Amino acid sequence: MKHVLLLVFLLVFSFFSFSQEEAPQTDTNTNGDDLEQTTELGGLQGIKFGVRGGFNISNLDFEETPPSINKHRNSIFIGFLVSLGLSRSMAIIPELQFSAEGANDEKLHLDYIQLPIMLQFRISEKIKFGLGPQVGLNIPKVDDNLTDIAFSGVAGLEYKINYVFFADLRYNYGFTNIFDTKYGFTANNRTVQIGIGYKF
């Protein structure tokens, strides 16, 4: 499964890199914060690369009584993104990020390499809403009884500060039991991300 995820990422990255090199650049002639340089790509309205990072507040939702005190974990995330404009009001945004999640107990730390794919809608001049699936690859500790792959859903709001900077708020809802079935516990990950980013 890890090899499949790596192959998918390499193919997607290669496609984006090739497409950017081949595409001509055009300027959007608008005023104020809407003055943005876009790259037309086939039927797409534009392509942008970016980075985002920030603060995580995460916890585990147990079905049974937790094996230890289940306090939330405060940590960080950081990643890279590509914004593919389908129209002026809609875009697809695949990302690759590191995200430290799970609960506060070190035995319940979940450090993921994640691939979210967001479908984003423009609500107003400054605000966008997005949602989509996410797959995460756990960076395991020895005999940690945690699963390697986790699937979740993501929803979030993005606020446009200016034509390059933005702030966002996301909620990740885990669908996968984070424990191996032999461990005898069932818990799902829940994470709030408070972030800031830069698109170029």
Answer whether 53's CB lies under 8 Å from 79's CB.
Answer: yes
- Helix, strand, coil percentages (3-state) for the chain, rounded to 5, are 15, 60, 25
Mean pLDDT of the chain: 83
Query: Higher-confidence residue: 170 or 107?
Result: 170
9-66 pLDDT, tens per residue? 444 444 444 344 444 444 444 444 444 444 455 567 789 999 999 999 999 999 888 8
Whether residue 77 has pLDDT greater than 80: yes
DSSP string of 92-116, one letter each residue: EEEEEEEEEEEBSSGGGEEEEEEEE
**pLDDT given for residue 178 in this prediction:** 92
**pLDDT given for residue 41 in this prediction:** 53
Q: What are phi and psi of 186, to 5 degrees?
A: -130, 125
DSSP string of 49-88, one letter each residue: EEEEEEEEEEEEEESS--SS---BEEEEEEEEEEEEEEET
Token pair 């593919």 is found at 84
How far the first Cα of the chain sits from its last, in Å, is 32
Whether residue 2 has pLDDT greater than 80: no
171-198 pLDDT, tens per residue? 999 999 999 877 788 999 999 999 999 9
